[in-house]
Amino acid sequence: MTTYLALSKAFIKSLQMSKSTDRRTRIILKFIIGLVVLFVFIPVAIFCAMMTYSLVSNLQFFHIQDLGVAMMLHTICLFTLFFGFNVIFSEFYFSSDIEYVRPWPVKAWQLVAAKFSVSFYVDNMMQVFMVVASLVGFFFAMQPGVMSYVASAIAVITLPILPLTYCGIIAMVVMRFTKSINNKESVQRISVLVLAGFILLFVIMFRVFAKNAVDAIGFFITETNSPFVEYMNRIFPTIHFISKAITYGSIPDLLIYILINVVAVAFMLFLSELLYFKGFENLVTNMKTKKRSFEELMQISVQSTPFRAYLRKELLILVRTPSFFTNCIMPNFIWPVFALIILKMQTYDVSITALRIYNMNEPKIVGFFLIMGSVVFSLIMTALNSLASNAISREGKHFQFMKYIPIPYETQWDIKIIVSCVLSFVGIWMYLLPFCIIIHTNFIYIIVSILLSILSITFVSYMGIYIDSIQPKLVWDDELSVLRENTNVALVMALALGIGIAIAFVGYSFYAFLKVRLLLVSLSLFVVLALLNLFVLWRTSKNAVRRIAEQEET
């Protein structure tokens, strides 16, 4: 047990970002975090609590309020199962610290338990905020007893255990008995296929139930013996018990929930003694590296200008690194799939013809939503792809490369921003522009929307790289860590979301309630976004080189 605790502490410690010693930097970070908490986290928490409150309150009339909690927890477990796949594989087999720990006199179950604890810690950081907020909404709806609060506290801490245990068992079995996965790139490719299948399944499901969406959702929620609830309880049996423990304060259900988790983890650790080290040996055996001679390298080398060479280097890293490709590139181009899912969830039919007719009758309303939507969507999508907010952190142990190449810091900085702006803009408008043309949107509205979108994208890109330069995460084991364990990415996402919601709320209020003309609303957006861009341009031009130089000294 002492060995396990020591390993877990060391692994978790390695995830933490180094703290800045500069007082001004610490003040800036605290200010940004304060804004995020005040304008993003608190409103999102209130929204989640209100949604859960409404769901549980309505289900009380059917005396099945525990299903409201169960549906919420099942959804969280599904996402944990999907996103935990990458985390478990990376921690178990592709983390660089294994090379140092493997020769030690450490048993397989100790190493697996420590790695599992790291994965559990990472996953819990991502979901605990949403779970707590939702449970608060449940408490306001139910006013439960003391045991319900105890069960809720246990659920908040232990909910990811079972889905992550599934991921751990699958990873060890696959690595032991197959030779198809010999690097983390293989895992990322499989994850992409799983994600595509996951999205396709949702599209098909919503397409099938589109005409009777209300009845279908009511059937899923109100029928305790429905196939959906039955199958989900079979996959995650812990949810059936913990939802009853939270709702009714049932001690036996809580004990069964804890027992199932303990048995699942014990079974995984038992399998680790049989499979883990042999799977790791298979991985080492199957790894093959193709070495090129000096002559071959010279033949494939092409001379280019510094700007083009560095731009090509940035693009190749993003495209050829599966973690960066799936998390930074793909979100720019797969969002229409999610738009289709939302469309299929509606209880009414929406067609291109209907949109054209509505556009002909109410062109100003369509123009308003296009202009406002392009701004908000551009802010959120640019932050979501994190191309700028991890631009410095992506360098990792190769950060010194920025120092030695004969390219000015300003040029390197600008190229990283250009990559973020271009990929974000292309991903948004390669679908949105044809859609606007198809429904015959006014050409002026399209031009205004594109200009405002560009200002939104450049603002988030400059803001993202500025925040990342304050305290970049340069120490990481795998590419996935620089995305999920980088607080800079979360900060930029939160700020962009908060600014987007504020702009949408104020803009709609001015247009719908105060009856301000669309021209004035558009001009106001231009002024606001221009001022925001000027501010971040001033900050980045003033501190870009200094930030990089200071980081080199640490």
352-379 tens-digit pLDDT: 777 788 778 888 888 889 899 999 999 9
Q: Are 495 and 382 in contact (CB under 8 A)?
A: no
Tokens of 427: 């991903």
Cα gap 128→165, rounded to integer Å: 18
Cα gap 108→113, rounded to integer Å: 8
Cα gap 376→368, rounded to integer Å: 12
Contacts of 153 by beta carbon, 8 Å cutoff, 6+ apart:
none
Q: With H, G, I as helix, E, B as strand and everything else as coil, classify residue 390.
A: coil
Contacts of 169 by beta carbon, 8 Å cutoff, 6+ apart:
267, 268, 271
Q: With H, G, I as helix, E, B as strand and everything else as coil, classify residue 179.
A: coil
**Among residues 65, 166, 76, 197, which one has the least CA distance to residue 126?**
76
Looking up tokens 């925001």, which residue turns up? Answer: 532
| Alpha-carbon dihedral sign for residues 329, 116, 169, 240 | negative
Q: Note the residue count of the chain.
A: 554
In angstroms, the first-to-last Cα distance of the chain is 35
Give me the amino acid identity at 213: A
Q: Are 389 and 467 in contact (CB under 8 A)?
A: yes
Give this prediction's pTM: 0.67
Cα gap 547→402, rounded to integer Å: 13
Residue 111: per-residue pLDDT: 87
**Among residues 3, 11, 14, which one has the least CA distance to residue 105?**
3
Looking up tokens 């994208």, which residue turns up? Answer: 457
Give the DSSP letter of residue 16: S
Looking up tokens 């909690």, which residue turns up? Answer: 69
- Tens digits of residue pLDDT in 285-327: 555 555 556 566 666 666 778 888 889 889 988 887 777 887 7
Residue 266: per-residue pLDDT: 94
**Among residues 395, 425, 384, 382, which one has the least CA distance to residue 318?**
395
CA distances from 23 to 27, 30, 34, 470, 487 (A): 6, 11, 17, 12, 19
Cα gap 222→62, rounded to integer Å: 8
Tokens of 437: 């043309």
Question: In whole angstroms, how large is the CA radius of gyration of the chain?
Answer: 25
Number of H helices, E strands in the chain: 25, 0
CA distances from 161 to 75, 89, 112, 258, 367 (A): 15, 16, 14, 10, 48
Give the DSSP letter of residue 439: T
Residue 459: per-residue pLDDT: 95
**Among residues 285, 263, 286, 100, which one has the least CA distance to residue 169?**
263
Tokens of 26: 């610490």
Q: Are 80 and 122 in contact (CB under 8 A)?
A: no
Which residues does the chain have with pLDDT short of 50? 205-206, 208-225, 553-554
Cα gap 185→359, rounded to integer Å: 46
